Structure 1
Amino acid sequence: MANNDLKKQKIFCTTSEAAEILSISVGTVQLWVDTGLLEAWKTPGGHRRITRESINRMLHHKPAAVALATSEQPGGALRVLVAEDDADLRLLYQTVLRHWPMGPLVEVVDNGIDALMAIERFRPDLLFIDLDIPGVDGFQMLKILNGKAEHAGMTAVVVTGLSRADIALRGGVPANFLVLPKPISFEKLLSIASALWELKAHRAGRTVA
């Protein structure tokens, strides 16, 4: 208790202390620092010091996630996260994904901050992300997620209304992420999800009907 009280009084926290306070991994703390969700500076020795004020902001942030379909076997269900700021498209995702044959567990968020929090908490197998989302945009998020070992099992698919030229002008996205145009082809998204579901079932020793 005394140790927790001391942390509350500190203006700056170490990465490990921030992870403990926020109940997330050290790797996620580093990710949130890289995306600007947590304010930090480095000591002369290269150690991060994170402001308690920014930690408190994240503690009180209420994710606007919408949980959808459930599965008879939640532990083995395909987990899908959708990050899309257009309300009509979010509703369309909810309507269509609810009827996918593998019965995925789905969360829908409308901004990059909630998306990053959901990635840590929900641990999606598949992420559908628009590039122009508020908070932390898709460009920044994908560049930081790229190559992170803790997210190596997550497949990210960009669904955007931007042209390839516009994407290139804004710095592009890592080459290993699939980019699909809007209007959304849910048939294509389903084929991607089905392939991932079969792979997940194979690894778990299950048979896909």
Structure 2
Amino acid sequence: MNTLNNSNSDEFLSTRQAAARLGVALSTVQAWVETGLLPAWKTAGGHRRIAATAVEALRNRQQAVLGSGPIPGKLKILVVEDEPVQRELYRQHFSDWNLPVSLLIAEDGFDGLIYIGRHSPDVIITDLAMPELDGFKMIRRLNSLNSLHKPTIIVVSGLSAQEIDAQGGLPDNIPVYPKPIPFVALRLLIEHLAKTPWY
């Protein structure tokens, strides 16, 4: 019996243990569990247990996604975009602007949440229609967290206003820009945010 219990404790982790292994806040792991991004089950006492293999798989994905982190002292901007050509356009424009920013790029909402949990970006520029975890779900997850750090969220999407409303809409404080990506407007906004003292 003890052997079985020890085996089970090795195979499953608490949310706190998972957070320690992944190097993120406990609330981040709880958010990933709630959205189903990190599979878990509940004990009879109501405690979450997460398979160690799932945590290890996520850790491997984190390492592949994160690579080098943002540069300290710069405005941290996360772009969440599933189209490779669009991601490259963001990289080129931000490089050309030569602003005091550190650019992070994620390929979908899942990877976006990994970046957010690890780096707490100041600005998130996101598409909406993406595979695996779309921008709607990512934004809802962020808004449900009781975090002191509230990033500025900007949506750049090919969806029409009617299509956005059909998906449940977005909070009123989130600006929505249509594609093609409005780089002139984004540069003005980023320049303003980069000069804002509370960053």
Q: Which runs of 5+ in 1 are unaligned?
A: 1-5, 205-209
Question: In the alignment, does 2:87 pair up with 1:86?
Answer: no
Q: TM-score, normalised by structure 1?
A: 0.81
What is the aligned counterpart of 2:189 among 178, 185, 192? Answer: 192
Q: Secondary structure at the match of 2:49?
A: strand
How do residues 1-209 of structure 1 correspond to structure 2 at under 5 angstroms?
10-61=10-61, 62-64=63-65, 74-150=71-147, 152-199=149-196, 202-203=197-198
Q: Is the 8 A contact 2:124 2:151 kept in 1?
A: yes
Q: CA deviation at 1:77?
A: 0.8
Report SS of the residue matched to 1:81: strand
Identity %: 36
**2:13 touches 2:50 (CA, 8 Å); kept in 1?**
yes
Encode CA deviations 1:23-78: one digit per residue, 9 max, x unaligned. 2110110121122211123344433222223212212224345879x8xxx42211
Q: CA deviation at 1:7?
A: 8.7
The secondary structure found in structure 2 opposite 1:128 is strand
Q: Is the 8 A contact 1:66 1:108 kept in 2?
A: no
Structure 2: distance between partners of 1:142 and 1:7:
38
SS of 1:150's partner is coil
Residue 50 of structure 1 aligns to a residue whose secondary structure is strand
Query: How far does residue 101 in structure 1 lie from its aligned partner after superposition?
Result: 4.4
Letter in 2 for 1:149: N
C-alpha distance in 1, partners of 2:8/2:101?
40
Aligned length, in residue pairs: 193
Amino acid at match of 2:84: A
Structure 1 residues 195 and 8: CA distance shift in structure 2, 3 A? farther
Q: What is the aligned-residue RMSD (CA, Å)?
A: 2.4
Structure 1 CA distance, aligned partners of 2:79 and 2:130? 11
C-alpha contact (below 8 Å) 2:80/2:109 kept by paired residues: yes
Checking the alignment, whether the CA contact within 8 Å between 2:120 and 2:149 is kept in structure 1 is no
- TM-superposed CA distance for 1:158, in Å, is 0.9
Q: Counterpart amino acid of 1:97? A: F
